[in-house]
Chains A and B, each alone.
Chain A
Amino acid sequence: MKMRRFMALAMATVMGASLLTACGGGSGSGSGSETTTTAAATTAAETTAAAASGETEAAETEAAAAEKSIEPTTITFWHGMNNKQEQSLTELTDKFNAENEYGITVELVNQGSYSDLQTKLMANAAADTLPDIAQAYNNYFTDYVDKVVALDDFVANDYPDWDDILESYRTENSEYGKITGVPFNKSTYLFFYNKTMFDELGLEAPKTWEDLEHIGEVILAEKGLAAIGYDSMCDMLEAALRQHGEQYVDASGALFNTAGGLETLEFIMNLYNSGYARLVGEDNYFSDSLSNGMIGGYVGSSTGVSYISTDIEGKEFELGVCPVVGDKTNAAYNAGTNIVMFAKDENNQKAAWEYMKFMTSKESTIKWAMDTGYLPIRTSAYESDEYQEFMAGDITAQAAYEQAPYGFVSKASFTGSNEIRNVVSTTLNELITEKADAQTALDTLIAEINDVLQ
């Protein structure tokens, strides 16, 4: 009798738990758990009605729009945004759904994390069931770039101010020889540090490689702590090489088998071998370490700032943010995805383009940046009074703005680019754990990269 009750309870719990986990997402097992966010509080019918009633918004759109005819349709948008980012995305999308004059409804589908999104896009590319539009990095679709709709005609005929978009983003989206997307959620790597600790030790925000070494030396001697960490090892390497005037990787292989490349690795390996820098270890990001006073500072994504707590009891500190250091030149790594189009139906393509225009408009990118901490993608947005005012009260946005002129985006439009990211990160981790010297590090990295591309 008891056993039966136990079994019944167990069964009930199994069912309950599987319901719970179904919404959990995040599992890489490809269990296909999808949380559909019906962004549209408004139904398609309502939007059509709004459009039909001839609202004044129509006046805003340029004359070309008058000739355009788009049938009312529903567009699916796969994204990997969560928490307040998802909230802001939903608000913007709701606005688009309510205000567009064609009766277009954009349905947001949350695919979990970036890696889940990447995995699902690939599986659906194979099954030929891709969504109309999706967030994507260029290295997601190296294998199915022919399924990405070329946007060149749309940009040429129906995009008023393409040049207003920051150059590095335009370059990134043209890497494949056609325009593959529009920039969306853009971030940059910044140096976050414990300003209280820096002030106490008489340290300034670092500007050069030497400053960084000095800070590492002082903090190690005075506090017994590492002063520097990098959330992403492969991005750190590429940024350091560029700062030293070197090149990283292209489709032909590693490009830093040079004297400058060796110097760069001498700098990097010295930071780690001397104990000035350390690996992130079992934490995934350094934000927790910084919050707990366990590291002097770290280089991480500008959007990660919300994960830093400066008010843990007994560990309160003032947060400092500054651009990443430079050497021979300045180079700051920009990250973040673009919106790419897979829609096959011509009407859906046109409808999706309306949405992409809306999301990259000056107004939207300002709201998006202020809500989420991502960066505006337009010069005019940076210069707007609204954003300038916001920036005055936000040190992260200030630092990001300061390094915007020398931001770069890693080239990813070749087969193997994604594998190289993983290989470089794990190889660097291993070299640092083994306390390898610079020459060994250089040789190993070059060999591993070329091995991927052979």
Chain B
Amino acid sequence: MNRKSFKGYAYLAPVLVIMLVFTAYPLVKAIFMSFCENYSIINGSYKGINLENYKDLFDDKLFIRALGNTTLYVAFVVPLSVVISLIIANLLNSHIKFQGLFQTLYFLPYVTSVIAIGVVWRWIMNSNYGLLNYILGFFGVEPIGWLSDPKYSMTSLIIFAVWKSLAFNIMIFLAALQGISPDLYAAARVDSTPRLRVFFKITVPAMMPIIAYAFIMGIINAFKVYNEVFSLFNSKAGPVNNEAITIVYYIYDQFYNNYKYGIAAAGSVVLFLLIMLFTMIQRLPGRIKAKKEAAQK
């Protein structure tokens, strides 16, 4: 190693040490723990190294339910959130009155504690005196037990989560919208292009990178959902018996409430693999495109 590169490594050292201690070590440790039967976090003892935790994990109907719920959550929350935020961001970007006020309003959910929002939504969705049922009442809809009827648990969670995740997407979309050259719109106006066509032919293509980013981040975050469940159902995972349990909630529950550290670790390894898989799939189209472009050149 020459002196120049040594200096470079010296500069990198602090961050490398932090990464090793707080990212790499826990990752390796969690993977190790997941293979230890009856692992004890207190003294590090275990019965043997085998696949027992994974067997228990996939035998547990609660984990299977958590997998299903999380998939459902990702499948609905991410696309809905991206589409709705795209529409709202466009509306906010047009010349409306009180633009600043609206921008702030839509951003509020992002900066408010999920726990606080959960309290409000528990009231909105209360079956007896909630706002949502009150409004639905005008349309002749019978009161729905959003938070008390197991049938609606996932629906309520998804509605809550979509609303919660709008804020961040709207913010990044607004930033992207400001970056689109006004010339394109001016040209479209000269040709008197219909607004919908402008949206799909100019706005959306120009925003494609940021929409892809929103999707990737959205999916990663959605797989890790925990706070939303915890706050909406008031520190439970559903009204009756864990109807809205998600993978991270399951991991937390096994670790902190049931003291089954090995199973919790196995659950987190499965989650890690799932997220990795989905992220790789998502990056596939981009890579193929890049390859094609390279081939054309």
A residues in contact (CB < 8 Å) with B: 2-3, 5-7, 9-10, 13-14, 16-17, 20-21, 24, 26-29, 115, 118-119, 122, 125-126, 142-144, 147, 279, 281-282, 284, 294, 415-416, 418-419, 422, 426-427, 429-430, 433, 452
Contact = CB atoms under 8 A, between A and B. Distances in A.
A21 B235 CA distance: 17
A282 B126 contact: yes
A21 B115 contact: yes
Interface in B60-84: none
B36 to A, nearest CB: 14
A119 B40 CA distance: 15
A122 B113 contact: no
B239 interface: yes
B40 A143 contact: yes
A282 B147 contact: yes
Contacts of A27: 113-115, 227, 230-231
A433 B175 CA distance: 48
Contacts of A143: 40-42, 259
Contacts of A6: 100, 103-104, 107, 174
Interface of B: 40-42, 99-100, 103-104, 107-108, 110-116, 122, 125-128, 145-148, 150, 171, 174-175, 178, 226-227, 230-231, 234-235, 239-242, 252-253, 256-260
A107 B42 CA distance: 26
A248 to B, nearest CB: 19
B115 A282 contact: no
Given A281-B127, A430-B241, 12 more contacts: A2-B100, A9-B104, A10-B110, A21-B115, A24-B115, A24-B116, A28-B252, A143-B41, A144-B42, A282-B122, A282-B126, A426-B242
Nearest to B254: A419
Given A6-B100, A282-B122, A28 B259 contact: no
Contacts of B174: 3, 6
Contacts of B239: 281-282, 429
Contacts of A294: 128
B257 A427 contact: no
B226 A284 contact: no
A418 B126 contact: no
Contacts of B241: 426-427, 429-430, 433
Nearest to B227: A29
B217 to A, nearest CB: 17
B240 A2 contact: no
A122 B115 CA distance: 23
Contacts of A416: 258
A429 B240 contact: yes
A118 B256 contact: yes
B115 A433 contact: no
Contacts of A426: 240-242
24 contacts: A6-B103, A6-B107, A9-B104, A10-B107, A21-B113, A27-B113, A27-B114, A29-B227, A122-B259, A125-B42, A126-B41, A126-B42, A143-B42, A279-B240, A281-B148, A282-B125, A282-B234, A418-B258, A422-B253, A426-B242, A430-B240, A430-B241, A433-B240, A433-B241
Nearest to B171: A10
A115 B126 CA distance: 24
Given A24-B116, A126-B42, A419 B258 contact: yes
A92 B268 CA distance: 44
A27 B150 CA distance: 24
Nearest to A27: B115
B30 to A, nearest CB: 13
Interface centre among B108, B226, B259 (most CB of A within 10 A): B259
Contacts of B148: 281-282
A294 B148 CA distance: 15
Contacts of B126: 282
A448 B150 CA distance: 20
Contact of B257 (A17, A419, A429, A430): A419
Contacts of A126: 41-42
A27 B175 CA distance: 31
Contacts of A433: 150, 240-241
Contact of A14 (B111, B125, B175): B111
Contacts of A10: 104, 107, 110-111, 171
